[in-house]
Amino acid sequence: MNSMQRSREIGKIIKILERRIPVGLFGKRNKSPFEVLIATVLSQRTRDENTSKASAQLFAKYRTPKQIANARISEIQKLIKPSGFYKVKAKRIREISRIIAEQYNSRVPKSLDELLRLPGVGRKTAGIVMCYGFGIAESIPTDTHVNRISNRLGLVKTKTPEKTEIALMQIVPRRYWLDLNELFVKFGQLICRPIRPHCAECPITKYCDYYTEIYLTRKNQAKHST
């Protein structure tokens, strides 16, 4: 399959998922760039519901980078405790807030390169801020869900999220960059799960290598063994 065919296939996949999983589910589209940035840092190694609770508690008391930068670490820790690893995250978000307050006049930098200079901010976090904070498609934020699903579908043949992002950017039309992360993450949580994916409920099996090469094979083997 050439790159043009894959681009058309990706468009069909995204349109099907949009009908099944409406974008905007995560609420990121209604948040400021600063809220998106801090929430994404808090989301590392925790569940969405814990991130939401921690973010809500933090921003109910502190709204600006300057306020968080001047807050006591112990108070920040208490507010973000639901997110897990709260001691490390408290130091990180206060330092990020201090840099934004002092070096960027309390405005999150509107640049992927500048975001990557902030402590603890990698490509995925920076890409999410650009997508959901600024509505700018400079990259395709790629986490374990996007990496897994892209490989299962056969869109890419890569081993790491970093390599998957590069490969996806070469074949996914830019008009889909803003939505792909959100759709694939939710799809990965609900259906295309890491262990025991719900293939029988999947609306895009006709485009999936995993379904045709592994799931159906296992199903047929189980059928013949009984």
pLDDT score at 107: 97
**Domains defined along the chain, listed by start:** 3-24+140-225 (1.10.1670.10), 33-107 (1.10.340.30)
CA dist list (Å): 168 to 102, 164, 220: 36, 6, 32
Print the SS3 string covering 115-146. HCCCCCCCHHHHHHHHHHHHCCCCCCCCCHHH
How open is the CA angle 139-68-61, to the nearest 5 degrees? Answer: 105
Could you say which of 143, 157, 206, 209 is catalytic? Answer: 143
Question: Does the pLDDT of residue 216 top 90, yes or no?
Answer: no
pLDDT digits (tens, 9 = 90+) for 52-86: 899 999 999 999 999 999 999 999 999 999 999 99
CB atoms within 10 A of CB 26: 20
List Cβ neighbours of 150 (8 Å cut-off, separation of 6 or more): 142, 156, 158, 164, 167, 168, 184
CA dist 52 and 62 (Å) reads 15
Q: Active-site residue 143, yes or no?
A: yes
Instruction: Give the model's pLDDT for residue 47.
Output: 84
The pLDDT confidence band at residue 23, using thresholds 50, 70 and 90, is: low
pLDDT of residue 134: 93
Mean pLDDT of the chain, nearest integer:
90
Residues 105-153: tens digit of each pLDDT: 999 999 999 999 999 999 999 999 999 899 998 899 999 999 999 999 9
Token pair 């600024």 in the structure block, residue:
134
User: Is 60 exceeded by the pLDDT of residue 185?
Assistant: yes
Predicted local confidence at residue 214, as pLDDT: 78
Q: What is the pLDDT of residues 159-169, one digit of tens each?
A: 999 999 999 99
Q: Which residue has the higher pLDDT, 46 or 156?
A: 156
Residue-wise pLDDT tens digits, 34-58:
999 999 999 988 888 899 899 999 9
- pLDDT (0 to 100) of residue 126: 94
Check whether 179 has a pLDDT greater than 60: yes
User: Which residue of the set 53, 124, 179, 186 is catalytic?
Assistant: 124
